[in-house]
Each structure stands twice: as C-alpha cells, then as structure tokens.
Amino acid sequence: MMLFRRFVSDEKLHLRMKENAKKPRKKSKWMARYEEMVKEQQRQQRR
C-alpha cells in the first residue's frame, strides 16, 4: 500500500476516475438482448 501511494498521487487518481465516469458505459450483451426483447414485447402489445 505504501509503495502504491508513493508512485501514484491521489489527485491524479481522482482526476482519472472523474474522466472515466463521464464516458458512456458499454452495455453487456445480456442487457442489450433484454432491452430488445422488451421493445419487441411492446411492439406486439400495440398491435
């Protein structure tokens, strides 16, 4: 832990975490299939 703190500053780490939080997250394959299934069900109900 002390070696990690010596080589990585907290400010840089927090800055990188904030930048990564702004990026859109990639959906998992399962979530994409689930959303497609829900959309298909909604289409079927409209008919």
Task: From residue 8, give the alpha-carbon distance in Å to each of 22, 31, 43.
Answer: 22, 35, 52
pLDDT of residue 29: 93
Residue type, 2: M
pLDDT of residue 33: 95
pLDDT of residue 2: 63
Per-residue model confidence as pLDDT tens for the chain (47 residues)? 566 666 778 888 899 999 999 988 888 999 999 999 999 999 999 87
pLDDT of residue 13: 86
* Global pTM value: 0.46
20: Cα within 13 Å, side-chain hemisphere: 6
Domains of the chain, residue spans: 2-46
